Amino acid sequence: MSNWYLSALCVLSICSGPVAWAEEFITPPMVSIPAGEFMMGTIGGDPASQPIHEVSVEAFQLAKYPVTVAEFRYFAKDTNFSPDATCNDFIDKEGLRGPTHIGTGRWDKHRYSHSDYQPVTCIFLTTAKAYAKWLSQKTGTSYRLPSEQEWEYAARAGTTSRFFWGDDPTGAQACEYGNVADFTGESVNNQLYGLSNVGFVGLSPCEDGEAYNAIVGQYKANPFGLHDMTGNVLQMVNSCYSDKGYQPDTSAFQEKNQCEFYGLRGSNWHYPARPHTFRGRAKREGWNVSADIGFRLAADKAPATSDDSHFTAALKQAQQQRLSEKDNLLMTPLFGHIVQLGETRYQLRWQPVTDKRVTRYDIYQSVYPQAHLMGGFYQHQYTKLTQVDSSQSSLELDAVANGTSFLLVAANDEQSSLPSAPLLIPHPPVITDIPGKLEMQNVASLNGVALYRAAPTETRPERYYVFKTNPVTAQEKVSMTFLVKVEESGEYQLSYQGRTFQEGTFFTLWNGATLLAEISYERQAENTTNQHSVYLEKGQHSLQLQVMREGFDRWMLAGLEFTLQQPIATGDE
């Protein structure tokens, strides 16, 4: 990782002084949004974004960018706005903290600050509305926050795909249009916190050049000419939120007792690109302000007079300065494979990268047999074995055990690339006897979820488990396959160690195309449910668990145990 980003994570007083112009305010550049109709919401996915329904929108004005720190400074100075430094700007190896966390940031100085041209964050909805009212008084134009309907209509900009640039099933195009969780953020988080989005919230497979809050307008605009409608920071809207879906009066901002949550739209740098139907929320009371939530202004009519030339010129200069500071990440080695030379002798081979900055390749070897299935920061599961000069594209290894895997990392003295895909020397599959327990480290295959390891303690042995944070916009099917040998045909009691935010059906159990059981979760069962009966036939089988979540969820599964309750006699027994 280039040192520019690490050195840029400094406070405004060091990196970028306040903007000093003669004006008493900054008139925001606005975009004229034409009247029209569109289908709002989605058919599947998050229940909060349903049902899909037709919405008519009157012509209005929407700011080209989210409100920046530079613009907000005038308001803060004029109104003596000086809140305590408690904004939630905390991140560590576990990711962002929850909405009640008390951090150390303010709107003008927080962990992600490096420019006055980043979106202003760390403020409540009431402050954003106070800013709009203040600017209205200064300019004579009635500024406000957009409604949720206006925001989605403007974000879509006449398109009907998941994103205004297309459906983009892999998310690889997202970095052209916004600051999202990507390779840049993954690299910076790896170095600063040992944090990885792999197996956690995921990342878009591209490089956008920013890990946290970015200067506005750095990415391509949508067809209406609006920037940062995807990524960077979430944006407050003047509409209520309900997790039960769109309500009859979501456009009106109701009283507190009728509107516990207000809406957030767009996405931010912490998550992969989210479709325009995504609805976030923030609590009107009881939650702290956050350094990843901002806002943009709307107006019913275009300003009678507007001069944003100073702001536009200064913003362009800030964008160019930021661009000049950036280096692309080192290229990740691709197309690696393993060739067996003898019983325990192997050769790693890979395609040399074309990045001239690379001076060596670091070779990492797995610490645990199932490291190739694990999520989290790769150096928690792999240790550096050796390094070779960049002129080499192979390495011979002796006395390598089955189940060992390797990662390739391109590097120089200043930075390292992200790791390659694991190169695995497979081991024979583990067949579990039933009656018995299915241990997660013995899984034959994993799809859509990552494996984790809990180190042994004085009171608990080493434990493996699968864990997933399920975003509201996904309905990804997770599957786990185990190979088993059933000793006797009969009814088995299935118990499991696991938990989920959602009660009801947790996972289904299959033997090939045959559904064996639908397993539920109840909180009062204290993370272990023993009330499921499953019929298993004698012999070797491939059992598959499938998990399908709707809406936000965070779940964990640490093991299943089968106990024979009633054997079934057969002719050969």
Residue 554 in domain:
yes
Q: What is the CATH number of the domain that holds 471?
A: 2.60.120.260
485 and 381 belong to one structural domain = no
The pLDDT value recorded for residue 11 is: 39
Q: How far is CA 394 from CA 125, 336, 346, 397, in A?
A: 57, 9, 10, 10
Residue 572 in domain:
no
The pLDDT value recorded for residue 257 is: 59
95 against 210, higher pLDDT = 210
The pLDDT value recorded for residue 570 is: 59
From 325, 343, 371, give the residue that closes a domain.
Answer: 325
233 against 200, higher pLDDT = 233
156 and 133 belong to one structural domain = yes
Whether the upstream peptide bond of residue 223 has omega within 30° of 0, thus cis, is: no
How many alpha carbons fall within 13 Å on the CB side of residue 440? Answer: 24
436 and 491 belong to one structural domain = yes
413 and 465 belong to one structural domain = no
Residue 458 in domain:
yes
- Predicted TM-score (pTM) of the model is 0.89
Residue 262 in domain:
yes
Q: Taking the CB of residue 304, how many other CB atoms lie within 10 A of it?
A: 8
pLDDT digits (tens, 9 = 90+) for 60-83: 999 999 999 999 999 999 999 999
305 and 354 belong to one structural domain = no
Which amino acid is present at 256? Answer: K
Q: How far is CA 327 from CA 6, 192, 317, 332, in A?
A: 12, 18, 18, 15
365 and 466 belong to one structural domain = no
pLDDT digits (tens, 9 = 90+) for 235-282: 999 999 988 888 765 455 555 557 889 999 999 999 999 999 999 999
493 and 440 belong to one structural domain = yes
The pLDDT value recorded for residue 34 is: 98
pLDDT digits (tens, 9 = 90+) for 378-398: 999 999 999 999 999 999 999
405 and 435 belong to one structural domain = no
Q: What percent of the chain has a predicted confidence (pLDDT) above 70? A: 91
From 325, 360, 378, give the residue that closes a domain.
Answer: 325
Q: What is the CATH number of the domain that holds 226?
A: 3.90.1580.10
Report the number of distinct structural domains present in the chain.
3
Residue 51 in domain:
yes
The pLDDT value recorded for residue 12 is: 36
From 271, 300, 325, give the residue that closes a domain.
Answer: 325
pLDDT digits (tens, 9 = 90+) for 424-470: 999 999 999 999 999 999 999 999 999 999 999 999 899 999 999 87
The pLDDT value recorded for residue 528 is: 52
The pLDDT value recorded for residue 354 is: 95
Mean pLDDT across the stretch 125-129? 97
218 and 145 belong to one structural domain = yes
Q: What's the order of all strands across the beta sheet hosting 293-294? A: 280-283, 261-265, 234-240, 293-294
The pLDDT value recorded for residue 191 is: 94
Residue 489 has pLDDT above 90, yes or no: yes
345 and 222 belong to one structural domain = no
Question: For residue 554, which of 472, 464, 496 has the smallest C-alpha distance?
Answer: 472
Mean pLDDT across the stretch 204-214? 96
Residues 6+ apart with CB under 8 A from 566: 490, 491
Residues 6+ apart with CB under 8 A from 18: 12, 70, 73, 116
Residue 10 has pLDDT above 50, yes or no: no
238 and 373 belong to one structural domain = no
The pLDDT value recorded for residue 572 is: 54
The pLDDT value recorded for residue 569 is: 67
pLDDT digits (tens, 9 = 90+) for 134-147: 999 999 999 999 99
Residue 573 in domain:
no
Residue 249 in domain:
yes
Q: Residue 37 sits in which domain range?
A: 3-325
Query: pLDDT-based confidence at 501, cuts 50/70/90?
Result: confident
The pLDDT value recorded for residue 14 is: 38
Q: Determine which of 43-52, 104-113, 492-501 has the lowest per-residue pLDDT on average.
A: 43-52
Query: pLDDT-based confidence at 9, cuts 50/70/90?
Result: low
pLDDT digits (tens, 9 = 90+) for 293-306: 999 999 999 887 77
315 and 363 belong to one structural domain = no
Three-class SS of 46-57: CHHHCCCEEEEE
